[in-house]
Structure 1
């Protein structure tokens, strides 16, 4: 097991995609130990981040403390933290301190393209290209547990204007991990072509007074060098194109 993932147990190697049968992540009401022990460093780093990008907002999100995988079942515990704490953790990633888990809805057009978005320059991920998604936050808590499907539907609607409920076919969940990040994804197949979906998203961007994204893109290859992807995107693209052709 990697030293960086000492709070993960029972997982495949990094970058290996595996089926997920259930997700059961409890939200603790206690402070995350990482936040509790790094308060001063978080505040100092946040001052630097905001000085470089005044558009950043220190909202609340969910950061995992531990995750376990047994067969296809994922369970664990997370805590509500300020976004500023996540930014410092993401920059330093101290071994065993925390894990980031998020849902990735992969929209696939009727002509076989994955529809991705490019993040705006004012965001925390400027210029990055990936499927519309976002971190879990308190709005995604249902009965004390993380609602991954609800999070994905909310993020896609906010960023693109598309409703995941309009998908004609939805795959089961799959997952992968890397660098203390766990990505849970599923494919949403739409009846519209890539051109039609991009036109809908572009209209949403134009009507949004403060859009998070500045473009929608149709991806038709798993080439990792095609766009400035985060690490999770190339293996997800390879899986999608290999299973839908």
Structure 2
């Protein structure tokens, strides 16, 4: 049985990439304790958020708690919450109350580029650049456990039209954490070139009546100042390009 709080004192250092063998994130029924404690502030913040961006959608997603990292295994509990709950948590980062864990598929073209996307201005991450991914949500629950691979395949298909099953090679899982956000990632090597992959994604965006992304990008450098990256991208890009040599 999990303890009530995370064993954060035993976690690897922040922004340090480490290998993992398994993610055991079990779904717990009932409201997240963070939501119960902050529901009034969550509602107030959501009213401000949608006033600034009416396009935001208060959909359902998974927010974790009691996360443990030990012996190559990440384990924890996840509750279904509304996106509005996560938005307040993201602003304040009370890591003793909740942890945001998500999966990131890193697509690498045959000519060595990391394929990323730039989020649209109407989204919750306007202009941010990162590999196509999204929060775990109820569609990703399999037998009471969050399915990392299923989530990555679904998000990539929805956002880019690419099928991760078409990859010629798939790495093992690695992870890093930063201020209560745990990014679990693995790389997918494609036989197509960066230009070919970007062309496919552009076609998908053109056919989507309400695309979340503005464009796809081929990243060939670990330079952290090249784009407006999400914080987790810089160490991951450095790791990917270092390990491809």
| TM-score interval, smaller chain | over 0.9
Q: What's 1:86 paired with?
A: 86
CA distance in 2, matches of 1:136, 1:81: 11
SS of 2:165's partner is: helix
8 Å contact 1:8–1:66 — kept in the other structure?
no
Q: What's 2:236 paired with?
A: 236
SS of 1:44's partner is: helix
Q: What's 1:220 paired with?
A: 220
8 Å contact 2:66–2:76 — kept in the other structure?
yes
Cα deviation, residue 10, structure 1: 2.8
CA distance in 2, matches of 1:112, 1:122: 31
CA distance in 1, matches of 2:125, 2:61: 16
TM-score (norm 2): 0.96
TM-score (norm 1): 0.96
CA distance in 1, matches of 2:69, 2:41: 32
What are the residue-to-residue correspondences of 1:48-197 with 2, within 5 Å?
A: 48-197=48-197
Structure 1: stretches of 5+ with no match in the other structure? none
8 Å contact 1:34–1:97 — kept in the other structure?
yes
CA distance in 1, matches of 2:92, 2:159: 28
Cα deviation, residue 71, structure 1: 1.3
Structure 1 pair 234/185, CA: closer, same or farther in 2 (3 Å)? same
Q: Deviations 1:178-233 (Å, cap 9, x if unpaired)?
A: 01000000000000000000000000000000000000000000000000001100
Q: What's 1:11 paired with?
A: 11
Structure 1 pair 9/144, CA: closer, same or farther in 2 (3 Å)? farther
Q: CA RMSD in A?
A: 1.1
CA distance in 1, matches of 2:216, 2:41: 36
8 Å contact 2:6–2:67 — kept in the other structure?
no
CA distance in 2, matches of 1:7, 1:40: 29
SS of 1:159's partner is: helix
Cα deviation, residue 6, structure 1: 5.6
Task: Give the paired residue count.
Answer: 241
8 Å contact 1:64–1:100 — kept in the other structure?
yes
